[in-house]
Amino acid sequence: MSLILTAFIAVLFLGQPKPSFAASGGRIGGGNFRAPSIPRGGGYGGSGYGGGYRSGYRGGGMGFPFILPIFGFGGGGLFGFLILMSIAGVIVNSFRGNNSQTIEGARGLSERLPGPVTMIQLQIGLLANAKGLQADLRELAASANTDTSSGLQKVLQETTLSLLRQPNLWVYANLEKGQVPFSSAESTFNRLSLTERSKLTAEVTSNFSGKLLSEKNSGISPGEADATNEYIAVTLLVASRSRINLNESISGEQLRDSLRILGSISSTELIALEVIWQPEGKGDVLSAEDLLTAYPNLKHI
């Protein structure tokens, strides 16, 4: 079973497009994957957000009754592959722990852990005339408190609002979503984040889990792209405690609705958030070829 699964994953991985290192970019985000504390009387207690991605549980797999209802993802790109890989890993762990004691422990654990986590990835390619968006994100990175749930919710709300204000500059978009077991949510989110960050030559502007990256640290000056730039790319990665009902069809109206829904996610539902954009460095260029190479799943609106 594990050999077949490994071969299947290898084929999917090798078939994924290689990232394009087009330009430097910016990053805002943070979150916490720690499981809520459980009162003795039952039920879930509240949980705060820490300084980074932390998990309250690492280890054994869930039973099949826990996996099957949440299996599924949208799109056929790397996002869907990573969602599938995380679920497949839980299945393999379930097979490895197939003695009765482990299975009973896994079933008990599935009753105590939070439910599945919804993963959402929204990517938008805008005309380079949307320089106000770069300025908004830069200002947000300088002022946002990314070490708290309310601060992250504000980043999400302000980012979606800034995007909603420039619908005439939307050219391309892609939205994918899926659900993964809580036990593999942190690693899945981190893989998705690393995949998107690897498309940047450098992170000029960054505010992650309360840690600011200054111009001196990056060695590159932030600023507007030069006159030869064609596009600005923005990626939103969201992890939520609740199921988010989004239509993955791409059109101007659907994208507008999706941004409104994402912007309304409450701080209690938001587990983690990452906003990544490029270009960000002074004189950086993102051409049409760079955009579609780095983001091959983008669809014309």
How much is the average pLDDT of 79-87? 62
Percent of the chain residues past pLDDT 70, beyond the cut:
63
Split at pLDDT 50, 70, 90, the class of 87 is low
First-residue to last-residue Cα distance in the chain:
42
Query: Is pLDDT above 60 for 74?
Result: no
Q: Which two tokens stand for residue 278?
A: 């490029």
Crossing angle for the helix pair 78-96 and 182-197, nearest 10 degrees? 150
Split at pLDDT 50, 70, 90, the class of 136 is very high
Query: Is pLDDT above 70 for 193?
Result: yes
Closest CA to 208 of 126, 151, 270: 151
Mean pLDDT in the chain? 77
Query: Is pLDDT above 50 for 37?
Result: yes
Which amino acid, residue 128? A
pLDDT at site 213: 78
pLDDT, one tens digit per residue, over 258-285 is 999 999 999 999 999 999 999 998 888 8
Taking the C-alpha atoms of residue 276 and residue 278, their distance in angstroms, rounded to an integer, is 7
pLDDT at site 23: 87
Query: Is pLDDT above 60 for 200?
Result: yes
Q: Going edge to edge, which strands form the sheet with 200-208?
A: 211-213, 200-208, 23-31, 270-278, 231-240, 117-127, 170-180, 299-300
Contacts of 169 (CB under 8 A, 6+ apart): 126, 127, 129, 130
Pairing status of strand 200-208 against strand 23-31:
parallel
How much is the average pLDDT of 153-157? 98
Contacts of 172 (CB under 8 A, 6+ apart): 123, 124, 125, 291, 292, 295, 298, 299, 300, 301
Question: Are 57 and 236 contacting, i.e. CB atoms less than 8 angstroms apart?
Answer: no
CA 85 to each of CA 12, 75, 226: distance values in angstroms, whole numbers, following the listed order: 10, 14, 40
Query: Is pLDDT above 70 for 116?
Result: yes
Which amino acid, residue 243? R
Closest CA to 180 of 55, 19, 297: 55
Query: Is the bond into 181 cis (omega within 30 degrees of 0)?
Result: no
Query: Is pLDDT above 60 for 102?
Result: no
Query: Is pLDDT above 90 for 142?
Result: yes
Split at pLDDT 50, 70, 90, the class of 89 is low
Least confident of 34-43, 157-166, 181-190, 194-203: 34-43
Taking the C-alpha atoms of residue 126 and residue 232, their distance in angstroms, rounded to an integer, is 5
Query: Is pLDDT above 60 for 301?
Result: yes
Compare 289 and 223 and report the one with higher pLDDT. 289
pLDDT at site 108: 52
Compare 175 and 58 and report the one with higher pLDDT. 175
Question: Are 57 and 35 contacting, i.e. CB atoms less than 8 angstroms apart?
Answer: yes
Most confident of the ranges 7-21, 29-43, 92-106, 203-217: 203-217
Query: Is pLDDT above 90 for 39?
Result: no
Split at pLDDT 50, 70, 90, the class of 163 is very high
How much is the average pLDDT of 167-195? 94
Closest CA to 224 of 127, 124, 125, 135: 135
Compare 228 and 109 and report the one with higher pLDDT. 228
Query: Is pLDDT above 50 for 103?
Result: no
pLDDT, one tens digit per residue, over 231-258 is 999 999 999 999 999 988 889 999 999 9
Closest CA to 27 of 171, 233, 173, 230: 233
pLDDT, one tens digit per residue, over 43-62 is 444 444 343 444 433 333 33
Q: What are phi and psi of 250, to 5 degrees?
A: -105, 115
